[in-house]
Amino acid sequence: MSAKINLEKELKQRCTELERQVEYYKNIAQQTGQKRLREVEMLNSFISEQKKSEKALMDNEQRFRLIAQSTNDIFYEWDIESNKLQWLGNIDSTLGYKTGEIKHSFENWLRLIHPEDRHLLEDTFLLHKESTKPVEYSYRVRCKDGSIKYWNDNSSPIIDQEGKSKKWVGGISDITERKEAEEALIQAQRLGAIGELASGVAHYFNNSLQGILGNIELALLKDISPEVRDYLETVKKLSMEAASRISQLQRFSGKGKGQTDYKQLSLNEIIDDVVAHTRPLWKDESEKLGITIEIEKNYASKELKVDANAEDLRFVLYNLIKNSVQSMRNSGKLAFETGETETGVYVTVTDTGTGMDEKIRARFLQPFFTTKGFEQGKGLGMSTSYAIVKEHGGNINVKQTALGKGTSIEIILPYLKKKEKRPKDDFPGYKNSAKVLWVDDEEVIRDMGKALVKALGHSADVAASGEEALGLLLNNQYDLMITDVGMPNMSGWQLAEKIKGNYPEMKVAVVTGWGADVSKEEKEKYGVCYVLGKPIDMGQLEYIVEGI
């Protein structure tokens, strides 16, 4: 840009000098009335050189115009006095307008700027009149279709003989992709922080739910009235629902994983299946409200296979369809497109609903965020879907959205290697009385665990720490040790590692509020047979005790 400024300045100065010389020799010819050969030759020479300089100036202008058209950048010249803008580069098509639709003036330029950024341009207008130094700033512009682009504007002044800014020339670069990448990184960091917080909250809630659920099950074993039993069954049901919500939070945070028994699935068939099962949502319920939703499928010509958990994938697609349908207040279209990229396969779900503004777009993957009120949703559908897609090694993002224009969400799933399916334990069934050691640093859970084991017809001792458990193991023989993972001084994993190999007849189970997804290798490392996520119910406990 500085090279263009210097070259134009030099050419214009040369043209001005030539014009002065031409006028000088014209005056001589007029004053003397003589057609002296020398003056005529000099006049012709200067006129010829003037034309060459003017042509060079036009060629230079054309060259920079072609450069601007061959790149994504836009160059401009702004005359402060006349307030006229001259563009080099197709600003009209860049913003989705027809050629000539954008008038070249500062006022029309200002109308293109995002309303929240216009004050920057108004301040810059005053700065350009007073400053003689280069100016750089960034702002958002609105395209004709309502979408947003980010521009970086870098301009320099042309100084007149009095040292004042006469004109400004500048270059505009489209930095939309860079801005979106920065925002995606910030969003990922924000989601990561929320995930860590959610994981910690989930852990403590699970510990509390373990005590609540365990004591409810003990109470249900008593001789109680039908009315009280109904109350307790209701509380038990609500406790299990709360545990399910917490499990979703753990999946969002990455601390609790879902099913890992991935199978080769047809992506198109999964979509067809979910669309068929959600027919009451997008057809029956919508038509009751006078809304007709057309389903459109644009599948890849070849069959697309993915390694995935079918139920997880159905859950994600169900949430996308549900959100799309609820956003469509008028009749419209719900479209599904599948295809391949270099890294995997994709499915894009596009609706003609209300769309999202920038604030909603930034938060739609956060847990407990909902625009529909908690009567219609708890705000966990998309955050859990995000976690599921991440577990599959994929990505989910808003491909396109605009208020009143609808939303397009894309899911990309990589070509995954088929994972080894975990073998299920085949228990012969333990019919005799077993002796259990329950280790937990919380007294409420220790007492509850002991009572549950006794209710199943077995005996139990309890220990408040890993050290106390080691002492009991020296003097007693146990068939099963159940230990909490998170304990002070010695964790459940450390306890299991210390006793590994010393008690070959005893099975070890660890219980954790962080989620029960532990690899087979990690279980073998610590000599652990079972990993249970809190809260555990009597059915799970019975299954383990009778399986030793």
Other CB atoms within 10 A of residue 298 CB: 11
The secondary structure element, H or E, covering residue 34 is none
Ranges 8-17, 334-343, 383-392, 503-512: which has the least confidence: 8-17
- Nearest 10 degrees: Cα torsion 250, 244, 481, 546: -140
Of the candidates 132, 129, 148, the residue with the CA atom closest to the CA atom of residue 140: 148
8 A C-beta contact, residue 85 and residue 77: yes
pLDDT(277) > 60: yes
**The pLDDT of residue 293:** 94
Three-state SS at 459:
strand
Q: Are 533 and 512 in contact (CB under 8 A)?
A: yes
Tokens found for residue 541: 């406990």
For 186-221, the DSSP string reads: HHHHHHHHHHHHHHHHHHHHHHHHHHHHHHHHHHHT
Q: Using alpha carbons, list the distances in angstroms from residue 232 to 116, 165, 236, 278.
A: 55, 82, 6, 34
Q: Is 297 helix (H, G, I), strand (E, B) or coil?
A: strand
Helix, strand, coil percent values for the chain (each to nearest 5): 50, 20, 30
DSSP for 411-457 reads EEEE-PPPPPPPPPP------S--EEEEE-S-HHHHHHHHHHHHHTT
Cβ neighbours of residue 177 under 8 Å, at least 6 residues apart?
Answer: none
Burial readout 333-353 (b: 16 or more C-beta within 10 A, e: otherwise): bbbbbbeeeeebbbbbbbbbb
- Say yes or no to pLDDT of 245 above 70: no
Which is it for the CA torsion 52, 56, 58, 63, positive or negative? positive
Most confident of 152-161, 295-304, 411-420: 295-304
Q: Which of 76, 98, 72, 101 is nearest to 87 (CA)?
A: 76
pTM for the whole structure = 0.44
Q: Which of 208-212, 246-250, 384-388 has the lowest mean pLDDT?
A: 246-250
Q: Find which of 132-136, 148-152, 294-298 is predicted with most confidence, using mean pLDDT.
A: 294-298
Cross-strand bridge partners of residue 152: 138, 173
Confidence band for 466, pLDDT divided at 50, 70 and 90: very high
Residue 78 Cα to chain centre, angstroms: 40
CB-based contact 370:407 (threshold 8 Å)? no
Write the pLDDT tens digit of every residue in 40-50: 555 556 556 65
Between 542 and 35, where is the model more confident? Answer: 542
Instruction: Give the confidence band of 54 by pLDDT, cuts at 50, 70, 90.
Output: low
Overall average pLDDT of the 338-354 stretch: 91
Q: What is the pLDDT of residues 299-314, one digit of tens each?
A: 998 888 888 877 788 8
Buried/exposed 408-441: b ≥16 CB within 10 Å, e otherwise? bbbbbbeeeeeeeeeeeeeeeeeeeebbbbbbbb
Pairing label, strands 435-439, 480-484: parallel
- At residue 421 the predicted structure's pLDDT band, cuts being 50, 70 and 90, is very low
